[in-house]
Amino acid sequence: MKFRLVFLSLIGSLILASCGGFAAQPPTPTVPPLVTLKVSGSGTVTIVLDTLTPAFETATPGYQLEVLPGRSTGSGVTGILEGLLDIAAMSRPPKEEETAQNIKYYELGLVGQALITHPTVTGVASLNHQQITDIFSGKITNWAEVGGPNMQIVLYVRDEDDSSTKGLRKAILGETPFAETATTLFSQDEMVFSVEGTPGSIGVAGWPSILALQTNVNAVAIDGVGPGEAAYPILDSAGIGYLSQREGDIQPLINWLSSTEGQSALNALGFVPSK
């Protein structure tokens, strides 16, 4: 009987010691749930956001950007309206009918739609309006006609709904049709890599995407003004769109883009500050 009492007393002491040990352990820290923001739309803006993603995620714990390949602003807008995306990459502000559907817009800055040529096109640092019109309409077909090498011009253009084409037409071409020999491309990636890979070629692409991808092409000035300058004639607004009811989720990204770090990153990628 005495042995049994001693044994029970020993067991009780071990249980109390064990409970005390558990109570003394610090609580496990709570890890905030990861918020993933899916974005797609404008090719230029998706390329930029993909480049900025590591810096944003490092500065904003608990958030990550999932940047999907983009082809157009319209597809990004459709994506957020249908709940497939959180953010629309946009190469223009929202239209009235889009604003009426509670789409808000944060402008990253102004994007120069750059004239880009293959590195083999030497001696053509700047073109005037008439020369650009003659090249894109097919009247000028050899680079020697504008001070370049004796080489046939290979012309790449974007579809008529694309922001680069609209900007080019508004600033220079008007309704002048593209040359019949022009090849129409349907994404920013296609344009950038086609010009980079084709000797004698010229095309139009958002300047920030060229810098983000570190593409080996020449940027041709227009009347001596480059695509990263405020006086460049083809500047378009670019930014991100989102539904107003999702603003709380998107705000950390906007905060970072508005910060000193974010603004420095955008400037390094060739964005021109809004006027």
232-252 pLDDT, tens per residue? Answer: 999 999 999 999 999 999 999
Instruction: Output the pTM of the full model.
Output: 0.85
Burial 212-245 (b: 16+ CB within 10 A, else e): bbebebbbbbbeeebbbeeebbbbbbbbbbbbee
CA of residue 95 relative to chain centroid, distance: 20
pLDDT, mean of residues 212-223: 96
What is the chain's mean pLDDT, rounded? 91
What pLDDT band is residue 13 in, cutting at 50, 70 and 90? Answer: very low
pLDDT, mean of residues 100-125: 98
Tell whether the torsion through CA atoms of 92, 96, 97 and 99 is positive or negative: positive
What is the pLDDT, as a whole number, of residue 29?
A: 52
Number of Cβ within 10 Å of residue 34's Cβ equals 10
What pLDDT band is residue 16 in, cutting at 50, 70 and 90? Answer: very low
**Nearest CA to 111 among 185, 176, 166?**
166
What pLDDT band is residue 128 in, cutting at 50, 70 and 90? Answer: very high
pLDDT, mean of residues 52-74: 95
pLDDT, mean of residues 172-197: 96
Residue pair 37/64 in contact by the 8 Å Cβ criterion: yes
